[in-house]
Amino acid sequence: MTWQIVVAMRVLLANVLFPFLNKKVARLPWVRLRLLMQFAMASVLAIIIAVCLRTNLEPRVFILIGVGVASSFATYCQWKANSINVSQTGIVNFWDDLIPMAAAYFFLGEGKFLNRDIGIGTLVSLLGIILLARESNGKWSRQFYLYVAGYSLIWGGTNFLMRLFALNNVSFGNFLVGWYCGGVVGSLINVFIFKEPEIKKTDIRLQITDALGILVLAVVIVASLVLGYQSFHMAPVLVLQSIYMVCEIIFVSLTGMFLLGEHKEFKRRELFYYALAGAGAITVATSF
């Protein structure tokens, strides 16, 4: 399987299916408890995968648990941002890609992978994204942008660490177990420190009835993370994040607009900006 196919599968799961399912869950009550349920289910799946792969857990799994704790807080911020507006979240969703790209360039020496076409494609994509973000006239609360900043900064760091773990041959089993067990720990902290209103019996029944939906969400995020981690074994950050950055913006924002009913009237220049960003991503994908 080529790296382009792995990336395409990850984009489909992370940028189309996940935001579609997530908004339905994130807008329901008890977000922190639902997030804990998601990470608990994902950690069980991760342990099953690790057992099937006959993984020997290593001491560095504790580092991954720490990363998972941080990622759980980023996930909470993403859920809250998505509950407000998925399409707008997609449009401002590029800092968590630019941060690892810069880190990989300066700390991993991945500038050596750049050629003229990749450089041009990255710049064209970035230009389209900046113009698209500037064109967006949504008036969102300060809280919305704080949520976006929260997950962008954290995931900017964890995306860089994923490449670092891949280069240091951290196994899939160790990676998944550490990441999602850390997610459980972080979600527990989130639940007990930031208490929500008193649980009612109807709320408890609601949690039971929608457990299947959260399980589907857990399967999607585990599969997405597996594909994402595999992609970091196959290609450098500068190439991958350039593609992920554009796909995240295009597919997440369009999912919000057309699949979740966040409709808006497109201006011709907005369509041009989408096309510009997409053309840059295709250039990068076909030039490595």
Lowest-pLDDT range of 14-18, 79-83, 200-204? 200-204
Given this model, what pLDDT does residue 225 score? 95
**Helical spans, DSSP H, in 194-261:** 201-209, 211-234, 237-254
The radius of gyration of the chain's CA atoms, rounded to the nearest angstrom, is 19
How would residue 118 be classed by pLDDT, with cut points 50, 70 and 90? Answer: confident
169: exposed, middle or buried (Cβ count in 10 Å: 0-12, 13-18, 19+) = exposed
What percent of the chain stands above pLDDT 70? 86
Task: Centre a 10 Å sphere on the Cβ of residue 70 and count the other Cβ atoms it contains.
Answer: 18
**How does pLDDT run across 166-215, given as a tens digit for each residue?**
999 999 999 999 999 999 999 999 888 776 555 555 455 555 667 888 89
Given this model, what pLDDT does residue 99 score? 86
Cα–Cα dist 209/157, whole Å: 36
**Nearest one of 275, 241, 252, 262 to 16, comparing CA atoms:** 252
Q: Which residue has the higher pLDDT, 95 or 234?
A: 234
Q: Report yes or no on whether pTM surpasses 0.75.
A: yes
Given this model, what pLDDT does residue 239 score? 86
**Per the structure block, which two tokens stand in for 124?**
């064209």
Given this model, what pLDDT does residue 72 score? 95
Cα separations in angstroms, 69 against 73, 123, 248: 7, 33, 23
Instruction: Give residues with Cβ within 8 angstroms of 208, minimum separation 6.
Output: none
Give yes or no for residue 256 having a pLDDT over 80.
no
Give yes or no for residue 223 having a pLDDT over 80.
yes
Cα–Cα dist 166/183, whole Å: 20
**How does pLDDT run across 22-69, given as a tens digit for each residue?**
877 777 767 888 899 999 999 999 999 999 999 999 999 999 999 999
The widest CA-to-CA distance across the chain, in whole angstroms, is: 61
Would you kindly state where each structural domain of the chain is located, as residue ranges? 3-285
Given this model, what pLDDT does residue 178 score? 96
